[in-house]
Chains A and B, each alone.
Chain A
């Protein structure tokens, strides 16, 4: 994690980039004081928000993950207990974590979540890249329309859109009915509650998160670089491989992270569209919590998942920072 001065320096850089700067020598001391206060408030509010709504719940979950299951309210043992004679007893139950390692269910659920997320990310990349490219190269008025179309689904509830896919994919749903009406098939294809429907659901839901960052990098890219490559004798495919693709790497990384990370923990889509045998850690977590009512194990699953996901986030952050530093040098 970053140190205090590091954070401060970064915040100041952001401020300067946003047009703040030091404001020149003409500012009075009062104005400068006000500016500093304003700066503090602007940076402080999000930190406070994160502290209240992310860090505190996280700490509570962390605490529960070290407790033991019991029947009662709350359904777990306390960590701290006053014993007679003035002893303070701390009981850290590591059994939950050991249990995760022992029961193959959890490990295979983790692995299969990672696999599903990785495959979905790849599919989203292959669909999203051409989309983003086409939008970035469209005329400005069309660009706005296309972008609106990409964002439009967000105006409908996520759940409703997933349910809509059930209507499309089920045995007497849109696709099967159409195919049978055309006489292409006699019996409905099993589409719903299969791997296919799972991937369709995830890719569909997260595609905008792939398209938008890709669009942002592709749109910023100087078209004259592509022309220069063509001018130097490069055919279109090689132009793409040697110039466009390397230069859109930041967008590819950002989009992939934005799809991969939430897809790993996805619960709703595998539950509604996935098959009975679809094993994903989000689903395991849910059933641990609500079916088994084993809060400590469920918390341990959640913490382990978080740790697994933090690693790619840190890699991503590191990459982004390097990118930002490089941009600053120019």
Chain B
């Protein structure tokens, strides 16, 4: 894998999609990632297949989730995230493969015997029980002494700040409060792993963004392993230590949000995880220290500062993140890594602006720049002829 230090943590913090990484709690996560890299695996999914009739919902998935980590399953609708999660909870039985939880084979263990709990997308709160009784439900099944149950329920309601609502029925609560009851209920039994199926999907945008951070905070406090299913890329970036990207039942890439963003292994990941400019091209030179790629859509060849050792003249794609492109009115004099175009659109977003540049070859390039100066008059406007350029180490090359 290429050297991480080029980009550094701060670089990424400023450049990814607005609101996502910037909202991450400072400091704690990167350290946590490193610490957890050596943690023991808590869930091992070993070549699991799940079919419904002839339809393959989960296709040879192998995955290791480590203790204490906040792991996200990210993918589009119908890609099998829920099915995978339900197999971890024990509601579906894998057609083939094994699932180990805490080192024990639990492929055929019933849900009520597994040391995992699930937070349902619909919350699945028992409508005929009070908030308190909902949280106590799991503890009652363990025949815990009454006083201990009461103590634990109090603790959980404190954690999610719902103590004043203990005696209410779920239908007297707001959506956000219900979500927190569901969280408290599923955490009450000290599960080894908490499974969350789109835990925030039912909340509105504002509340969702706040709750993402709350969830991360709670996860850090209780230290439980969280597996979160989501179809929202920003949500996965905000919350997760590591993310698995799924597509039609398969896992495409598993990595930290940073690595997924900067080193996607396929076009799919590059496009799914953030915004990207993709250009198809032919490999012209493939040396250990550099690559030369010619793209039909780009006037000049693309020079990359590392080799990929692919076959000669192979078809490759170059992925350029909008914030790693520069736009200027002066013509660069380098022989490669730039192109000319006309500004078609400027999207002003306050902190950043996105230029939509129609390149001479016909392709559209999106370039974001930061608006650092408050009063400066924008020097580039609509229909200007501009030059789009990038550094050799800012190019990501993927072969599929």
Residues of A within 8 A of B (CB): 222, 224-225, 227-235, 238, 242-243, 246-247, 326, 329-330
Q: CA A181 – CA B229 in complex, angstroms?
A: 64
B100-127 contact mask (Cβ, 8 Å, vs A): 1 or 0: 0000000000111000011010101011
A222→B122 contact, CB < 8 A: yes
B171→A224 contact, CB < 8 A: no
Find B120's partner among A227, A233, A330 (CB 8 Å cutoff). Answer: A227
The residue among A222, A230, A231 with the most chain B CB atoms within 10 A of its own CB is A231
Q: CA A225 – CA B91 in complex, angstroms?
A: 13
The residue among A232, A246, A330 with the most chain B CB atoms within 10 A of its own CB is A232
A329→B172 contact, CB < 8 A: yes
Q: CA A235 – CA B140 in complex, angstroms?
A: 12
B4-44 contact mask (Cβ, 8 Å, vs A): 1 or 0: 00000000000000000000000000000000000000000
Find B189's partner among A225, A229, A232 (CB 8 Å cutoff). Answer: A232
Which residues from A are CB-within-8-Å of B122? 222, 224
B126→A234 contact, CB < 8 A: no
A243→B126 contact, CB < 8 A: yes
A230→B124 contact, CB < 8 A: no
Known contacts A224-B120, A224-B124, A329-B171, A232 near B137 by CB under 8 Å: yes
Looking across the interface, which residue of chain B has its beta carbon closest to that of A230? B111
Min C-beta distance of A326 to chain B, whole Å: 7
Min C-beta distance of A33 to chain B, whole Å: 37
B91→A233 contact, CB < 8 A: no
B137→A229 contact, CB < 8 A: yes
A247→B127 contact, CB < 8 A: yes
Q: List 12 A-B contacts (CB under 8 A).
A: A222-B124, A224-B124, A229-B137, A230-B111, A231-B112, A232-B117, A232-B138, A232-B141, A233-B142, A235-B112, A243-B126, A247-B127
Q: Count residues of B near A (Cβ-Cβ below 8 Å).
A: 23
Q: How many A-B contacts if CB must be within 8 Å?
A: 60
A330→B124 contact, CB < 8 A: no
Q: CA A238 – CA B185 in complex, angstroms?
A: 18
A228→B127 contact, CB < 8 A: no
Q: Does B128 contact A (CB under 8 A)?
A: yes
B112→A230 contact, CB < 8 A: yes
Q: CA A234 – CA B126 in complex, angstroms?
A: 13
**Given pairs A222-B124, A230-B112, 14 additional interface contacts (CB within 8 A):** A222-B122, A230-B110, A231-B111, A231-B117, A231-B118, A231-B186, A232-B137, A232-B138, A232-B141, A233-B141, A233-B142, A233-B189, A326-B171, A329-B171
Q: Does B89 contact A (CB under 8 A)?
A: yes
Find B112's partner among A234, A243, A246, A329 (CB 8 Å cutoff). Answer: A234
Q: CA A234 – CA B213 in complex, angstroms?
A: 31
The residue among B117, B118, B141 with the most chain A CB atoms within 10 A of its own CB is B141
Which residues from A are CB-within-8-Å of B91? 227, 230-231
Which residues from B are CB-within-8-Å of A230? 90-91, 110-112
Looking across the interface, which residue of chain B has its beta carbon closest to that of A247? B128
Which residues from A are CB-within-8-Å of B185? 232
Looking across the interface, which residue of chain B has its beta carbon closest to that of A221? B127
Min C-beta distance of A330 to chain B, whole Å: 4
Q: CA A330 – CA B118 in complex, angstroms?
A: 24
Min C-beta distance of A68 to chain B, whole Å: 54
Which residues from B are CB-within-8-Å of A235? 112
B124→A225 contact, CB < 8 A: yes
Min C-beta distance of B184 to chain A, whole Å: 12
Which residues from A are CB-within-8-Å of B89? 227, 231
Q: CA A230 – CA B91 in complex, angstroms?
A: 9
A-B pairs, 10 with minimum CB distance: A232-B138, A233-B141, A228-B124, A330-B171, A224-B124, A230-B111, A233-B112, A231-B118, A246-B128, A224-B120
Which residues from B are CB-within-8-Å of A232? 112, 117, 137-138, 141, 185-186, 189
B162-183 contact mask (Cβ, 8 Å, vs A): 1 or 0: 0000000001100000000000
Q: CA A231 – CA B90 in complex, angstroms?
A: 8
Known contacts A233-B141, A235-B112, A228 near B118 by CB under 8 Å: yes
Which residues from A are CB-within-8-Å of B90? 230-231
Q: CA A330 – CA B172 in complex, angstroms?
A: 7
Min C-beta distance of B385 to chain A, whole Å: 50
Looking across the interface, which residue of chain A has its beta carbon closest to that of B114? A231
Min C-beta distance of B39 to chain A, whole Å: 25
A238→B141 contact, CB < 8 A: yes
Which residues from A are CB-within-8-Å of B172? 329
Q: CA A233 – CA B115 in complex, angstroms?
A: 9
Which residues from A are CB-within-8-Å of B141? 232-234, 238
Min C-beta distance of A139 to chain B, whole Å: 12
Which residues from A are CB-within-8-Å of B112? 230-235
Q: CA A243 – CA B118 in complex, angstroms?
A: 17
Q: CA A242 – CA B138 in complex, angstroms?
A: 12
Which residues from A are CB-within-8-Å of B138? 232-233
Q: CA A138 – CA B127 in complex, angstroms?
A: 24
Min C-beta distance of A15 to chain B, whole Å: 23
Within 8 A of A (CB), among B343-365: none
Q: CA A36 – CA B82 in complex, angstroms?
A: 48
Looking across the interface, which residue of chain A has its beta carbon closest to that of B113? A233
The residue among A228, A235, A329, A330 with the most chain B CB atoms within 10 A of its own CB is A228
Q: CA A235 – CA B141 in complex, angstroms?
A: 9
Looking across the interface, which residue of chain B has its beta carbon closest to that of A239? B112
Q: CA A233 – CA B141 in complex, angstroms?
A: 6
Looking across the interface, which residue of chain B has its beta carbon closest to that of A238? B141
Q: CA A234 – CA B171 in complex, angstroms?
A: 23
Which residues from B are CB-within-8-Å of A224? 120, 122, 124
Min C-beta distance of B29 to chain A, whole Å: 29
Looking across the interface, which residue of chain A has its beta carbon closest to that of B197? A224
Q: CA A246 – CA B112 in complex, angstroms?
A: 20
Q: CA A231 – CA B109 in complex, angstroms?
A: 12
Q: CA A231 – CA B118 in complex, angstroms?
A: 7
Which residues from A are CB-within-8-Å of B189? 232-233
Q: CA A224 – CA B124 in complex, angstroms?
A: 6
Looking across the interface, which residue of chain B has its beta carbon closest to that of A249? B128
